[in-house]
Amino acid sequence: MIPILRISALRITREALCVLALAGCTTFACHSVTVTVANKKESARLETVPGAMRTTETGRLEPDLRQQRIAREYWVQGQDGAWYRVSAEQFRAAEVGRALEICN
């Protein structure tokens, strides 16, 4: 009788973990929002690319902070005044005065 109780307890625990895992995934789901574009803005900033290593004069390895790149961000503003970050493709497709569906 004890093995049956252990199996059903394991089964219930496994099913409960699956439910919790799936519930956690819903926080990453896309909530589609339709925004009427009032303004568009593209910004660029210089950022350091991590992962590159170099050897110093003493033979020690350290990150090479000289490797940098330009990171671009694309934003659209809704008629309510809120700014939404969008992909480059959505930015190119966005037209002022027209509706744009974005993932928020």
Kindly state the tokens that stand for 3.
């093995």
32-48, strands of its sheet edge to edge:
83-86, 68-78, 32-48, 99-103
Q: Which tens digits make up the pLDDT trace of 51-86?
A: 677 888 999 988 776 677 899 999 999 999 999 999
- Residue spans of the domains in the chain: they are 1-29, 31-103
- Is-contact 77 96, C-beta < 8 A? no
pTM: 0.58
Q: Phi/psi of residue 54, each to 5°?
A: -140, 160
- Is-contact 46 70, C-beta < 8 A? yes
What's the length of the chain? 104
Q: Which tens digits make up the pLDDT trace of 13-41?
A: 666 555 555 555 555 678 889 999 999 99
β-bridge partners, 63: 53
